[in-house]
């Protein structure tokens, strides 16, 4: 889904302990394909507010291995026009920043009205983080960050020591549950959407996250359905790419290249699986050398080009198949821009 930092609305993750933040409660009923893709969140805000952390820094082979995820849905212009007559398109990066900033302001104000403190957080708290859904294919990035363990550590620090996390921990125990309820609502139902794999996802329409979204997207139920669908497409697409015979053939060439460089991995997912956790990374020189070899081999073997081409192919097919919700997603975001601009400008004048 979008890379904007949503506060709640993701599916449930393991809850924190009694002294830590908990994931927003959202009810998900099993659909006909229990093994289908899931859209995920990472706890990043202290009042159990989850941001779309998306897929981690490096997520090669995500759909097949469970590590990371495919790149965000790429929505191109459609014939359908917005009410203003503008052809539907994905918002630009500055426009996405605007939508995020406005939602954060609305969330902050709602939490304040309910007696709690919330500080807006940036849309991209670790700006240099990249998502490589199939293979690391940028040698320059790899030379700077290896597989991104340094960026993972920065993100983990933000997720545990940010201003909102510290505020949540400072609350008396009896105030923590009300803070979570203020952010997420009292019960994880009232808004329901069905993902493309049949999974039923529900959340509360009453928390501050829902109120903030409603301020930008008045038809919250339709927005939620569109959002769930669009957020489900990248892992669907990733699975199709990885299962494609062309991808497997290019992966064999990549593997031969890596073996020649001294790294015996069958595919990029195996390289991911061999990495230690970010808090105990490989020595930097080894991590960088391995990541650079992966990126160089991705280019020389044709895997990078093949993955990008197949990703575009399946992206187009999925957008056609789920065109109603994709079109709604585009329309909602474009229509929200004037409202978001008004929120940000009014806040600046306070």
Cβ atoms of 306 and 314 closer than 8 Å: no
Burial 221-259 (b: 16+ CB within 10 A, else e): ebbbbbbbbbbbbbbbbbbbbbebeebeebbeebbebbe
Distance CA 185, CA 172 (A): 20
84 within a domain of the structure (yes/no): yes
pLDDT of res. 159: 87
Burial 303-342 (b: 16+ CB within 10 A, else e): bbebbeebbeebbeebbeebeebbbbbbbbbbbbbebbee
7 within a domain of the structure (yes/no): no
Question: Which contiguous run of DSSP H or E holds residue 191?
Answer: strand 191-194
* pLDDT by 10s per residue, the chain, length 350: 333 333 333 323 323 333 333 333 444 443 333 233 222 232 223 333 333 222 223 444 433 333 333 344 444 433 344 555 568 999 999 999 999 999 999 999 999 999 999 999 999 999 999 999 999 999 999 999 999 999 999 999 988 889 999 999 999 999 999 999 999 999 998 999 999 999 999 999 999 999 999 999 999 999 999 999 999 999 999 999 999 999 999 999 999 999 999 999 999 999 999 999 988 999 999 999 999 999 999 999 999 999 999 999 999 999 999 999 999 999 999 999 999 999 999 999 98
Cβ atoms of 113 and 128 closer than 8 Å: no
pLDDT of res. 67: 31
257 within a domain of the structure (yes/no): yes
Distance CA 237, CA 231 (A): 11
Task: Please return the burial class of 96, using the count of CB atoms within 10 Å of its CB with bins 0-12, 13-18 and 19+.
Answer: middle
Cβ atoms of 49 and 39 closer than 8 Å: no
- 275: which residues sit within 8 A by CB, 6+ positions away? 147, 149, 281, 282, 287
22 within a domain of the structure (yes/no): no
Residue 291 has φ and ψ, to the nearest 5°, of -65, -40
- 327: which residues sit within 8 A by CB, 6+ positions away? 78, 80, 88
> Which residue range forms the structural domain that includes residue 249?
27-336
Residue 279 has φ and ψ, to the nearest 5°, of -80, -10
Distance CA 298, CA 271 (A): 13
286 within a domain of the structure (yes/no): yes
The total domain count for the chain is 1
Residue 320's DSSP bridge partners are: none
Q: Is the pTM of this model over 0.85?
A: no
305 within a domain of the structure (yes/no): yes
Distance CA 236, CA 38 (A): 9
Cβ atoms of 129 and 135 closer than 8 Å: no
Q: How far is CA 63 from CA 43, 67, 225, 264, 291, in A?
A: 21, 7, 22, 22, 20
SS3 193: strand
C-alpha closest to that of 267 among 294, 285, 290: 294
pLDDT of res. 350: 87
342 within a domain of the structure (yes/no): no
SS3 314: helix
Q: What is the side-by-side order of every strand in the sheet holding 191-194?
A: 27-29, 200-203, 191-194
6 within a domain of the structure (yes/no): no
């Amino acid at each position: 889904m979008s890379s904007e930092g949503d506060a709640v609305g993701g599916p449930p993750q393991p809850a924190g302990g009694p002294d830590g933040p908990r994931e927003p409660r959202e009810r998900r009923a099993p659909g006909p394909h229990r093994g289908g893709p899931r859209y995920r969140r990472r706890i990043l805000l202290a009042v159990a507010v989850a941001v779309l952390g998306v897929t981690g820094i490096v997520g090669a082979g995500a759909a097949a291995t469970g590590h990371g995820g495919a790149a965000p849905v790429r929505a191109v212009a459609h014939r359908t026009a917005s009410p203003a007559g503008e052809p539907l398109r994905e918002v630009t990066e500055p426009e996405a920043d605007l939508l995020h900033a406005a939602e954060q302001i609305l969330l902050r104000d709602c939490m304040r009205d309910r007696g709690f403190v919330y500080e807006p957080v940036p849309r991209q708290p670790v700006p240099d983080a990249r998502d490589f859904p199939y293979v690391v294919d940028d040698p320059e990035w790899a030379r700077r960050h290896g597989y991104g363990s340094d960026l993972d550590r920065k993100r983990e620090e933000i997720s545990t020591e940010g201003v909102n996390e510290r505020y949540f921990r400072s609350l008396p125990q009896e105030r923590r549950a009300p803070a979570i309820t203020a952010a997420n609502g009292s019960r994880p139902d009232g808004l329901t959407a069905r993902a493309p794999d049949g999974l039923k996802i529900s959340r509360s329409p009453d928390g501050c996250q829902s109120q903030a979204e409603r301020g930008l997207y008045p038809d919250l139920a339709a927005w939620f359905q569109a959002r769930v669908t669009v957020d489900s497409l990248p892992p669907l697409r990733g699975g199709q790419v990885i299962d494609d015979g062309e991808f497997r053939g290019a992966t064999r060439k990549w593997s031969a290249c890596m073996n020649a460089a001294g790294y015996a991995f069958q595919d990029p997912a195996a390289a991911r699986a061999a990495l230690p956790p970010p808090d105990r990374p490989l020595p930097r020189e080894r991590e960088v050398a391995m990541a650079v070899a992966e990126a160089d081999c991705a280019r020389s073997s044709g895997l990078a080009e093949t993955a990008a081409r197949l990703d575009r192919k399946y992206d187009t097919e999925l957008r056609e198949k789920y065109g109603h919700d994709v079109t709604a997603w585009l329309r909602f975001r474009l229509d929200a821009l004037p409202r978001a601009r008004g929120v940000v400008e009014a806040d600046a004048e306070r």
